[in-house]
């Protein structure tokens, strides 16, 4: 009847174990490969770092040697310069003492510069402080200006030579210059120093190609040492280190590689391996994976790490075959696979035994559950008792009856639950059969009471709807009145603001009227002053008129006296006539002025009178404005006292409106509640009928169960 669940679980567990083992092997293989590659990479990087440290020590030794050699060479040049200048000083002293002329002294210095040699055919030269050549072993340079001459590298050394010799008192220059009687240029250190007594620049120099040659020899020795050291270093089985420079020349080849290693092609890019490694090193990266073709034609994958040593322009790199990296991983995977297969077989056997022990109680209780589903409780109890007798469930039942449940697992709790369910379900079905009849009678009585309650709820719902309609009308009226009070309050506030603004405007008008009154008073006083000045002008005009009359009389008397004098008074007679004419003109002008002054007095008097009237009108206007301001201030005060009352009334209307709205809402809710109650009662009647039907059906269903009655 039942398929064995223990067999199916065993198959499932076996499949899971096999899948997990395979997944573990795949994951382990991938992880180990990555770990081996990472480990090999760390080893290669650490080995390259050791080589870089050795290169750094070699470079530092070369730098120290070059520095000391250059320092010694510079000191030797300076010592030679001091000796040469002391000889020049001797010539100068002979000139100063009068033993030789200045020309003879200079010629002696020139001959000394042309003929003196030291070290490796090194020489002296003499220039002016403008860099005109005076003495040089190469006679063709004498007489030329060398301020713009360049060395073989295009370096125009003239300005620096003048600065170091004349301004700094002496200094060194580095040039690339041919030796005497040679065309090839070589590096040279030149020392120049100013000779102020004759305004000369004296210089000498020494070639340093021997120092560079010595440095190159030491580099070759360093390469030999690196080749010897790298031959002792091995990465994996056949992996080696090698060195190449910026010119892609292999300085130290990998041990065991051919002579044409520098021509090895990276099949991934088509470039030479040295070219790709140089790009990786320049970018500051470490790793390069590539493919190469061996001499036998087979394509192999390899891995290299590279680092650039900038001071020497060298690259330290490694090369390792990828199959040598993966070989330990493959061996380990094979061993792990064999161990995993043995563990798998043992695990499947143990799991099958354990699952069978666990599934036997489940098999028994599943048979019990099958009989319960058919409604045969008596057969289910028999099967449970048989399983208990066989021993599958005895431990659980005994522990349950004695109360020892501390070591129960899920299966034990399932057995316990089935046992309890059988007992409970047997008594429950018996009780349900007895209670069915009682529920049927109670349902009939409950239906009658609900019908009576439904009629009362209908009456209450009708009354509630009428009351709700009245409440909505009250709420609407209250809201309209509240809106009216809001508008009244707004109008009162606006009226108060306008009245306040009117008071401020009247205050401004009052100040303007005061200023106008003050201005009219000032104009009145100025017109009064003009009137008095005009009166003074009238008196002056009168005086002028009297003076003109006197002058006229005097001129008449003078004319009479001139007539009496005869020909001696003719000139005076002419003057008297001219004076009389002038007096007549003055009298006429005085009349005109008097007329104008009279008109001006009349106009000023009229202006004074009009201005006096205007000043009085302004004063009346000021008084009226003050009275009007007091009246409007009273209106403002009344409006401002009225606004809080409007607000108080508005607040009361708002509260009344809200209360009416709340009453209306409550009545609506009450009406809805009444309707819902009615609907609920109808639903309850339906449910009561369904309950009666369900009880009948339940009695039919329970009748199927075969129970044991106590």
**pLDDT at res. 174:** 93
Whole-number Å distance between alpha carbons of 707 and 435: 16
**pLDDT at res. 80:** 93
Residues of the chain with pLDDT > 70, as a percent, come to: 54
Environment class of 205 (CB within 10 Å of its CB; exposed 0-12, middle 13-18, buried 19+): buried
**pLDDT at res. 224:** 87
**Two structure tokens written together for 642:** 């009225």
**pLDDT at res. 704:** 61
Taking CA atoms, 291 is separated from 43, 97, 267, 268, in Å, by 21, 86, 5, 6
**pLDDT at res. 695:** 62
Of 71-80, 111-120, 265-274, 683-692, the least confident: 683-692
Angle 299-300-304 from CA coordinates, rounded to 5°: 135
Average confidence (pLDDT) over 471-482: 64
As a whole number of Å, the CA-based R_g of the chain is 67
Q: Is 312 helix (H, G, I), strand (E, B) or coil?
A: coil
For every residue of 602-643, DSSP letters joined together read: HHHHHHHHHHHHHHHHHHHHHHHHHHHHHHHHHHHHHHHHHH
User: CB–CB of 126/200 below 8 Å?
Assistant: yes
**pLDDT at res. 116:** 93
Whole-number Å distance between alpha carbons of 362 and 651: 78
**pLDDT at res. 1:** 41
**pLDDT at res. 677:** 63
Average confidence (pLDDT) over 431-435: 65
Taking CA atoms, 675 is separated from 453, 461, 689, in Å, by 13, 6, 21
In this predicted model, what pLDDT tens digit does every residue of 21-43 receive, in sequence order? Answer: 777 666 666 676 677 777 777 88
Bigger pLDDT: 402 vs 490: 490
Element (DSSP H or E) covering residue 381: helix 377-390
User: CB–CB of 256/332 below 8 Å?
Assistant: no
Tokens 């609506």, located at residue: 668
**pLDDT at res. 67:** 92
Q: What is the mean pLDDT of the chain?
A: 76
Closest CA to 206 of 137, 142, 118: 118
User: CB–CB of 600/572 below 8 Å?
Assistant: no
Whole-number Å distance between alpha carbons of 132 and 143: 6
Tokens 């009471």, located at residue: 449
Average confidence (pLDDT) over 233-247: 85
Bigger pLDDT: 147 vs 611: 147
Of 3.40.640.10, 2.40.10.220, 1.10.287.950, 3.40.50.2300, which CATH number belongs to 438-700?
Answer: 1.10.287.950
Most distant CA atoms of the chain, gap in Å? 198
* For residue 247, pLDDT beyond 70: yes
In this predicted model, what pLDDT tens digit does every residue of 521-564 receive, in sequence order? Answer: 666 676 676 667 666 666 766 766 676 677 777 667 767 776 77
Q: pTM higher than 0.75, yes or no?
A: no
Long-range contacts of 687-695 (CB under 8 A, 24+ apart): 688/443, 688/446, 688/447, 688/450, 689/443, 689/447, 691/439, 691/443, 692/440, 692/443, 692/444, 695/436, 695/439, 695/440, 695/443
Kindly indicate the confidence band of residue 450, based on its pLDDT and cuts at 50, 70 and 90: low
Whole-number Å distance between alpha carbons of 560 and 553: 11
**pLDDT at res. 2:** 44
Q: Which stretches does DSSP call E strand in 294-407?
A: 299-309, 314-321
User: What letter does residue 244 receive in the DSSP assignment?
Assistant: E
Of 170-179, 338-347, 693-702, the least confident: 693-702
Does the domain at 65-215 match CATH 3.30.450.20? Answer given as yes
In this predicted model, what pLDDT tens digit does every residue of 91-124 receive, in sequence order? Answer: 999 999 999 999 999 999 999 999 999 888 899 9
Bigger pLDDT: 179 vs 504: 179
Of 177-186, 295-304, 311-320, 603-612, the least confident: 603-612
Bridge-based pairing state of the strands 314-321 and 287-293: unpaired
**Two structure tokens written together for 501:** 């603004």
Residues of the chain with pLDDT > 90, as a percent, come to: 19
Bigger pLDDT: 262 vs 213: 213
User: CB–CB of 552/584 below 8 Å?
Assistant: yes
Q: Kindly list the domain boundaries of the chain, sorted by start residue.
A: 65-215, 438-700
Of 146-155, 367-376, 460-469, 530-539, the least confident: 460-469
**Two structure tokens written together for 16:** 């899971």
Backbone angles phi, psi at 117, to 5 degrees: -135, 150
Kindly indicate the confidence band of residue 81, based on its pLDDT and cuts at 50, 70 and 90: very high
Sign of torsion over alpha carbons 413, 419, 420, 421? positive
Whole-number Å distance between alpha carbons of 359 and 608: 136
Whole-number Å distance between alpha carbons of 699 and 710: 20
* For residue 497, pLDDT beyond 60: yes
In this predicted model, what pLDDT tens digit does every residue of 599-611 receive, in sequence order? Answer: 766 766 776 676 6
């Amino acid at each position: 009847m039942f398929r064995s669940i223990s067999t199916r679980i065993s198959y499932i567990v076996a499949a899971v174990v096999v899948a997990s083992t395979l997944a573990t092997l795949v994951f382990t293989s991938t992880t180990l490969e990555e770990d081996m590659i990472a480990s090999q990479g760390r080893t290669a990087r650490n080995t390259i770092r050791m080589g870089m440290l050795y290169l750094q020590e070699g470079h530092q030794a070369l730098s120290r040697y070059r520095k000391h050699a250059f320092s010694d060479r510079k000191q030797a040049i300076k010592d030679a310069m001091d000796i040469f200048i002391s000889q020049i000083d001797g010539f100068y002293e002979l000139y100063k003492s009068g033993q030789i002329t200045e020309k003879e002294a200079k010629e002696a210095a020139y001959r000394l510069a042309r003929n003196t040699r030291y070290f490796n055919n090194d020489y002296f030269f003499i220039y002016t402080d403008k860099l005109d050549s005076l003495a040089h072993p190469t006679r063709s340079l004498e007489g030329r200006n060398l301020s713009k001459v360049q060395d073989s590298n295009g370096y125009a050394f003239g300005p620096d030579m003048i600065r170091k010799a004349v301004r700094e008192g002496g200094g060194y220059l580095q040039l690339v210059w041919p030796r005497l009687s040679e065309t090839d240029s070589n590096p040279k250190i030149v020392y120049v120093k100013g000779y102020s007594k004759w305004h000369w620049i004296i210089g000498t120099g020494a070639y340093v190609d021997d120092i560079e040659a010595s440095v190159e020899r030491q580099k070759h020795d360093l390469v030999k040492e690196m080749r010897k050291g790298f031959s002792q270093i091995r990465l994996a089985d056949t992996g080696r280190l090698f060195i190449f420079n910026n010119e892609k020349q292999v300085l130290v080849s990998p041990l065991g590689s051919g002579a044409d290693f520098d021509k090895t092609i990276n099949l991934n890019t088509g470039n030479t391996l040295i070219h790709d490694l140089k790009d990786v090193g320049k970018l500051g990266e470490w790793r390069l994976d590539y493919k190469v073709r061996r001499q036998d034609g087979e394509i192999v994958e390899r891995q290299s790490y590279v680092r650039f040593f900038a001071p020497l322009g060298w690259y330290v790199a490694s090369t390792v075959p990828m199959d040598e990296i993966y070989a330990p991983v493959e061996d380990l995977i094979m061993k792990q696979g064999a161990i995993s297969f043995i563990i798998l077989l043992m695990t499947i056997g143990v799991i099958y035994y354990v699952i069978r022990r666990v599934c036997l109680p489940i098999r028994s209780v599943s048979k019990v559950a099958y009989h319960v589903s058919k409604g045969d409780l008596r057969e289910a109890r028999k099967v449970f008792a048989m399983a208990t007798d066989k021993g599958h469930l005895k431990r659980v039942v005994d522990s349950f009856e004695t109360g020892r449940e501390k070591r129960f697992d899920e299966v034990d709790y399932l057995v316990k639950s089935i046992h309890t369910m059988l007992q409970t379900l047997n008594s429950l079905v018996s009780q349900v059969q007895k209670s069915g009849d009682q529920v049927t009678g109670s349902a009939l009585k409950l239906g009658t009471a609900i019908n009576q309650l439904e009629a009362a709820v209908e009456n209450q719902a009708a009354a509630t709807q009428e009351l709700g309609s009245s409440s909505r009308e009250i709420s609407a009226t209250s809201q309209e009145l509240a809106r009216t009070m809001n508008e009244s309050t707004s109008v009162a506030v606006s009226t108060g603001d306008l009245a306040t603004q009117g008071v401020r405007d009247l205050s401004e008008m009052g100040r303007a009227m005061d200023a106008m009154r003050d201005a009219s008073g000032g104009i009145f006083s100025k017109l009064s002053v003009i009137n008095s000045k005009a009166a003074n002008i009238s008196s002056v005009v009168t005086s002028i008129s009297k003076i003109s009359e006197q002058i006229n009389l005097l001129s008449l008397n003078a004319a009479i006296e001139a007539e009496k004098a005869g020909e001696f008074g003719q000139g005076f007679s002419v003057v008297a006539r001219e004076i009389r004419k002038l007096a007549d003109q003055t009298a006429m002008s005085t009349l005109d002025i008097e007329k104008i002054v009279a008109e001006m007095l009349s106009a000023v008097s009229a202006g004074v009178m009009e201005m006096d009237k205007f000043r009085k009108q302004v004063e009346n206007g000021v008084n009226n404005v003050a009275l009007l301001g007091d009246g409007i201030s009273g209106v403002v005060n009344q409006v401002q006292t009225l606004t809080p009352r409007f607000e108080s009334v508005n607040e009361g209307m708002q509260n009344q409106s809200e209360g009416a709205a709340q009453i209306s809402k409550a009545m609506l809710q009450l009406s809805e509640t009444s309707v819902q109650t009615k609907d609920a009662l109808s639903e309850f009647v339906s449910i009561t009928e369904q309950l009666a039907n369900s009880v009948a059906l339940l009695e039919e269903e329970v009748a199927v169960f075969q129970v044991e009655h106590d």
